[in-house]
Structure 1
Amino acid sequence: MSLPMMVFAAGKGTRMAPLTDRLPKPLIKVGSQTLLDRALALGRQAGATRLAVNIHHLGQQIRDHLAGQDVAISDESDLLLETGGGLRKALPLLGPGPVITVNPDVIWTGPNPVRALLDGWREDMDALLMLVPLAQTRGRQGGGDFSLDPAGRLIRKGDLVYGGAQIIRHDRLAEIPDEVFSLNRLWDLMIAEGRAYGLVHPGLWCDVGRPDCIPLAEALIDE
């Protein structure tokens, strides 16, 4: 099984300042690779059928970085749409059916999370989120996001952190009238109907949202 994949690369990266004053966060390097290249590599290694990236803050730099690659660009230069609005705008680039979305500002160890999501996806699901136990995270500030019931369905609150990778159906985006909104709105609809599920990642995970997180992420890569 394979699906199209979108990388959310449009954020302002305010927590990563001053590095993001002149460089978009997805182009910050961890080790020898940019965060964006690492995210795209997860999709390519998993066999994603199409790749798309959205841009806003210093977006021309991301355009230039991706020049010559088979990656579609969804331009949010005029208005930053957040994850829900951003996904809806990018749908013409992704096509019908479920899509993979990935946040680039994280580092994973262990199995490819995108491949694991594809292997775990079922037709009765509306969303499948990759989760990380709080104890296996690095650079995380705050508690967890979710827990799972015995069938693997999402429950709000718990010690499982959303790792920034998922498969999600986008049909119900049309039900949300706002132009700018988070995918949390869509998750809430799916959780209420018992159609949002989670997978627990067996490896380690690092949030690369602040400058002090970069050495933490590089240490994971070097282990």
Structure 2
Amino acid sequence: MRQPFPLMLFAAGFGTRMGALTAHQPKPLIKVAGLPLIDHARRVAAQAGVTHLVANLHYRGDQLAAHLSGSGIGLSWEHDAILDTGGGLKAALPLMASGPVLTLNTDAVWTGPNPLTTLMQAWDGDRMDQLFLLLPAAQARSATGRSDFIMDDTGKVDWARGRDGFLYLGAQIIHPRLLTETEASFSLHAPWTRAMAAGRAYGVLHRGDWCDVGHPDGIAEAEAMVRAAKDWPDV
């Protein structure tokens, strides 16, 4: 059986869409259903058997570091400037084993099948450098109607470019060989585009529910979602 991949938790952002809620705390410490968002992500990891976790820190990182103290999670500090998703991941790679890595945004709540398990079960390193977890855009809670990607019958993914398609849920497996940028700060969009151009970017569907908690209204919506979930444990 394949060993679980290491997991990068994106936790460095400013959380500006949260307004006053992030004036004095980082977004990953905002509570949903009694649990800080970063602990929702940690529970997803634990349920998937993932034990090697790294989190990047920048905005009010001292609070997150204190919260994670003793957890065994590696901390990748972005002291001088925030490095965006690609730069943050590349900077954290020395804290992770070589080979493909999972990443998970820490501003979402999940129900149904474990998102990390779904990704790991679908991963095929012979064909893939990139695997996205997706949901049909029309089915997504807290979505704006946008589509990020289209996906063909084989699972290959490309940019939606205005076409109806699928929403990226902030969970993926990516091979570090895609991270060829030399600058410190960069987005993951360019590495994703390279994987698509090579025919090595794929998607897999999440068969449960998902709620974006990147904005204040997402808190109540996520709490309603978890109350309705039959498989949700008490918190």
Tell me, yes or no, if structure 1 residue 208 matches structure 2 residue 213: yes
Which residue in the other structure is 1:67 paired with?
69
Aligned: 1:140 with 2:143: yes
Give the alignment partner of residue 125 of structure 1, picking from 128, 133, 147: 128
Q: CA deviation at 1:17?
A: 1.1
RMSD of aligned residue pairs (Cα, Å): 1.0
Q: Give distance in 2, aligned partners of 1:209 and 1:193.
A: 32
- Does the CA-based 8 Å contact 1:144-1:161 persist in structure 2? yes
Percent of aligned pairs with the same amino acid: 47
TM-score, scaled to structure 1: 0.97
Quote the residue 2:52 is aligned against.
Answer: 50
Q: Does residue 106 in structure 1 map to residue 112 in structure 2?
A: no
Q: What secondary structure sits across from 1:17 in the alignment?
A: helix
Match of 1:22 in 2: 24
TM-score (structure 2 length as normaliser): 0.92
Partner SS state of residue 26, structure 1: helix
Amino acid at match of 2:87: G
Shift of 1:159: 2.3
Segments of 5+ residues of structure 2 without an aligned counterpart are: 229-235
Structure 1 residues not aligned, in runs of 5+:
none
SS class of match (1:36): helix
Count of residues in correspondence between the two structures: 222
Whole-angstrom distance in 1 between the partners of 2:45 and 2:57: 18
Distance in 1 between residues matched to 2:145 and 2:15, nearest whole Å: 18
Structure 1's consecutive aligned runs of 4 or more residues displaced over 4 angstroms after TM superposition are none
Matched, 1:171 2:177: yes
SS class of match (2:133): strand
CA contact (8 A) 1:52 1:74 kept: yes
Deviations 1:26-50 (A, max 9, x none): 0001001111011111112111241
